[in-house]
Amino acid sequence: MNMSAAPRDASMISPSLEHALETARHVVVFTGAGVSAESGVPTFRSAGGLWEKYDPHQLATHEAFSHDPDLVWSWYSWRRNTIRGVEPNPGHYAIAEAEQLFPQFTLVTQNVDNLHQRAGSSRVHELHGNIERSRCLACGTYFMGDEAPPTDKAQSCSCGGFIRPDVVWFGESLPMEELQHAQNAATSCDLLFTIGTAATVYPAAMLPVMARRAGAYVVEINPEPSSIAHEVSECITGASGVVFPVIIERLKQLRTTA
C-alpha cells in the first residue's frame, strides 16, 4: 500500500495509478461525507459533527417521525436549506468530468445532498437517499425539490398519508436496487476510487473491499486513512477537491500523448 501526500502535480501520481487510469474500462467512484464537507456541508460522525449536537434517535428514525413528525420535518428543512446555501466543489466537478472519460462509469454515493447532480453527474446511485426528495408513506408518491412542502411542519399527501424525507434512517435497510447495482459495479470494475469516506457504515463500506478482492485497483483519497486503508491498493492523503482534479488532468494528458 502506497501512502503519499496529496499530489500537487501529475509527477506525484504513482506509475501504478497511471497504468490503471490508462487501461481501465469500467471505473467506479464511491463517495462519502468528506467530499461534501469541503463545500461546507456539516458532517455527522466527525469531531464537531451533527451527532454531537443532536440525538439521531430523536431526528433520524421512523419512530421519531411517528412520535413528532413536525420536529423531524423541521430539522430536515433546516438541513435542506443549509445544503442549498453551498456549492459543489472542484472534487464534485472532477467526478462529473470523469463520467465522460471512461467507456463505463459508475458513481455511488453515501451523501444525500444532491451536490453530485448539481455538479453535472447524470447517473448517481444514492445509497442513503436524497434530501431534496420526499415521499408519501401511504401511496409512495415522490416529490422533488420545490415540489416538497416548503413549511417547517410535516405535511400530508393528497391521499392523506404523511410525507417524509426520502433518506435512509437508522434501523432502515439501504434501497436494495441501488445497493445491488453498487455491489455489481464494485465486483466488475477495473478501477475504484473511494473518496471522502471513513468506511465505518456497512454494508456500503464493503464496496472498496469487494472491488479489491475481485481484482480491481482501488485508490483511497482521504485527509486521513480510513478504517479499510489496509485493504486498498493505494492511499493518497489529501482533500478530494485538490487530489481528484489533478488525477483527471493527468488522465487527459496521458491520452493526448498516447
Predicted local distance difference test score (pLDDT) of residue 9: 64
Grid cell digits, residue 146:
420545490
| 71, 104: one domain | no
- What per-residue confidence (pLDDT) applies to 201? 81
| CATH, residue 2 | 3.40.50.1220
CATH number at residue 51: 3.30.1600.10
Could you tell me if 13 and 135 lie in one domain?
A: no
C-beta separation of 228 from 204 below 8 A? no
* pLDDT, one tens digit for every residue, the chain (258 residues): 444 444 456 666 899 999 999 999 999 999 999 999 999 887 655 444 444 455 666 778 899 899 888 888 888 888 888 899 999 999 999 999 999 999 999 999 999 999 999 999 998 999 999 999 999 999 999 988 765 555 678 888 999 998 999 999 988 999 999 999 999 999 999 999 999 998 888 888 899 999 999 999 999 999 999 999 999 999 999 999 999 999 999 999 988 876
Given this model, what pLDDT does residue 5 score? 41
Regarding beta strands 191-195 and 26-31, do their DSSP bridges make them parallel or antiparallel, or are they unpaired? Answer: parallel
Contact indicator for 244, 95 with CB cutoff of 8 Å: yes
Q: Are residues 4 and 117 in the same domain?
A: yes
Domain that holds residue 150: 42-85+131-167
Q: Are residues 239 and 152 in the same domain?
A: no
Residues 238, 118 within the same domain: yes
Count of beta carbons in the 10 Å neighbourhood of residue 115: 25
pLDDT in tens, 22-68: 999 999 999 999 999 999 887 655 444 444 455 666 778 899 899 88
d(CA 64, CA 176): 23
* C-alpha of 219 from chain center: 15
Q: Taking CA 207 as the corner, what is the angle to CA 205 and CA 212, rounded to the nearest 5 degrees? A: 120
204 in the same domain as 140: no
> What is the chain's percent helix, strand, coil content, to nearest 5?
40, 20, 40
Backbone torsions φ then ψ of 38, nearest 5 degrees: -70, -15
What residues are labeled active site?
Answer: 128
Number of separate domains in the chain = 2
- Which residues lie closer than 8 Å to 37 by C-beta, 6 or more apart? 43, 46, 196
Domain boundary among 115, 145, 167: 167
User: Do 102 and 226 lie in a common domain?
Assistant: yes
Asked whether residue 205 falls in the same domain as residue 79, the answer is no
Tally Cβ neighbours within 10 Å of residue 79.
Answer: 19
235 in helix, strand or coil?
A: strand
Within this chain, do residues 100 and 209 fall inside the same structural domain, yes or no? yes
Provide φ and ψ at 136, rounded to 5°.
Answer: -80, 130
- Tell me, what's the pLDDT at 146? 62
- Position 155 scores a pLDDT of 86
159 plus 194 within the same structural domain:
no
Tell me: do 186 and 161 sit in the same domain.
no
Q: Are residues 96 and 113 in the same domain?
A: yes
